[in-house]
Chains A and B, each alone.
Chain A
Amino acid sequence: MSKKKDTFMNMVISLFVITIISGFSLGYVNQLTEQPIKDAKVAKKTNAIKLVLPDFDNNPVEDVVLIKSENINDSIEVYPGFANNEFVGAAVIGSSEKGFSGLVKLMIGFKASGEIQNIEVLEQKETPGLGTKMKDEKFLAQFRDKNPSTYNLKVKKDGGEVDALTGATISSRAFGEATQMAFDEFMKNKENLKTPKN
């Protein structure tokens, strides 16, 4: 078979056919993967919530409460947890733009009393080996079971009580700021969260 000639019609037709075929096959694959992608995202969130909240028996992803805040543009996601219709705490997404390379996004689990149950790092672009150590047990342990109303979340250098990561004071500051923001929103909205939606 010889090569098609470079006529205008040939060029238009061949590109048209190729784009049609590729468009249809992409649409087909998109249909196949749409549900698994959604499931994967929900599973990831549920796992993070399980790590930071005390035991719960509801579905926090479905009960999500969006809170408008004057401090940041996006609304803040809060996932309340209930056990036997009793409010056990809430997982709050806290974020700070002041990380060493921008956004630091955390999920902070608060007990009903306001103490921190656990913190999970969702997104960060900090320096590998320095700021990324915020995921390490050693750094996270100092926040557990602390109530931010009595425990100053600032790093020691700024008059707080947090041991900053070696060589990553800025990352530690952003971490504290994100946690503080989540705590403030949690305390402000605690009463509304306590009643189950259904």
Chain B
Amino acid sequence: MRRRREMTIDEASGATRERRRLRERRGVRQFVANRAAVVSVCFLLALVLLAFLAPLVATHDPDEQNLLNKFQSPSAEHWLGADLYGRDLFSRLVYSSRVTLLAMLQGLAVASSLGITLGLIAGYAGGVADALLSRVSDAIMALPPMILALAIAGILGAGLTNAMIAIGVVLAPPQFRLARGAAQSVASETYIEACRAIGCSPGRILWRHVLPNISSPLLIQTTFAAGVIVIAEASLSFLGLGVQPPQSSWGVMLRAAFDSIYQAPWMVLAPTVMISLTILALSTFGDGLRDSLEGRGRTRSKRRRERVESAARSSV
């Protein structure tokens, strides 16, 4: 009995399901028409594929040392040359894409689980919890992200996971604000009241009725956050606080290039290209998503405000 009633209310909350489906289809069409965005998606998919197929793509064992090849410049044998220990740079570059993906997953997991969960709770519960959590989020946003991430990562101890916990904490506030705003704005809606009246738990209300409302801004936010994570991973690994050698990442490779910058300056190029292309692809993808998901019904000044806000968010 209770179950059937609840279904109807679920349907009522998505009363415009048909209209939504049409809108989604239009959004997909608009996204596909954006050539830059499609190219970026292809690049990102290729990157994922590269990470999974790394053993097949790599021409050498990434950790195999051969001092005879020390600082060898690019050749048929070593496509991108070899480093101080004669390790093949192409293979190291390929294997490093795994670290980048892992870093993205870890960082986003921390940022989203902290930001979204606490945001929904703060917005729905209000009161002291909301006041306190909002202050904390404001405090994090008032600090320069890179310095805060550096401090947290360093004191937790060097390592990829710690670095990503740090960057996750720094990136949580935007997600927190989104989730909190959404929870707050619907908390007094009739359909939420109806859910409560028939005995839905707060968890179910937040999960099934509040969260879907903000799925598209969250998705966009997440794409931009992924770009920040790539920068942060590279920066922290470069400084020796992220991925630890001999394990390789693009940041670690840049550090190796930096340490032998006088002997083999060309070593800087390959990781630079990969890092920049990945960041470019993520931001282009994010822009495309935003245009297709939120393109309509927004005035120019609102879009401008969003640009300012996203500039504020993406600053590391």
- A in complex with B: no
